[in-house]
Amino acid sequence: MATLTCPNCAAQVQPDDLICFTCGANLPRPAVRDETPAPTTVMQEYLKPEDRSRFISPAVLRLAFPTGNVEVPAGTSLLLGRDPAESLVAAAFARYENVSRRHATVTMDDDGHASIRDENSTNGTFVNGDRVLPGIAVRLADGDVVRLAADVAADVLLPRQLADPASFSRPE
């Protein structure tokens, strides 16, 4: 199997890797061609037509950690921690013993609103210096600083949400 190079740090990575295990950067995925669409799931069959057309924000939350960026697209959540069986980005925290195996969960809802929830970590999760209570989601905004334990800090980069033009009204 051929090895590839990380676009962020130029380390060698395997074609099946999702992230660079050296710097923690997300790796680009090759486009899959000629793939037949997946069969409709039971859940999709029960959705009402208006639910299927619901708008999902194109926004992507970026947490800029010293070991690399972690990106969370709208409509998803990601566990931050050192346990590779639980966290897709565990390599980014492997050298930090004070980060718990299941430290915190970052969520971007369909509307593009970001939040972080501490998962009962040993050394705490902080937003702008304030401790996040375990199990309580705290809203994130562009420019916030998220810190896991004492020394793993990340800048929050969140695109500004544009107002929905349908919500505007004309003066009559």
The pLDDT value given to residue 52: 45
Return averaged pLDDT per consecutive 10 residues of the chain, 172 residues in all. 80 81 76 57 48 65 88 90 90 90 92 92 94 94 94 88 55 58
- Written as six digits, the tokens of 153 are 């800090």
The pLDDT value given to residue 170: 58
The pLDDT value given to residue 169: 57
Tell me whether residue 154 is exposed, middle or buried, using C-beta atoms within 10 angstroms of its C-beta: 0 to 12, 13 to 18, 19 or more.
Answer: buried
pTM: 0.61
Terminal C-alpha separation, the chain? 67
Q: Determine the Cα angle at 8 with ends 65 and 141, to 5°.
A: 35
Which residues make Cβ contacts (< 8 Å) with residue 116, sequence separation at least 6?
104, 105, 106, 107, 125, 127, 132, 137, 138, 140, 146
Backbone angles phi, psi at 88, to 5 degrees: -70, -20
Distance CA 118, CA 2 (A): 39
* Torsion angle of the four alpha carbons 10, 15, 18, 20, in this order, in degrees rounded to the nearest 10: -20
Give the three-state DSSP class for 17: coil
The pLDDT value given to residue 164: 53
The pLDDT value given to residue 160: 67
**Regarding the domain delimited by 56-157, which CATH topology (the fold level of the hierarchy) does it fall under?**
Tumour Suppressor Smad4 (2.60.200)
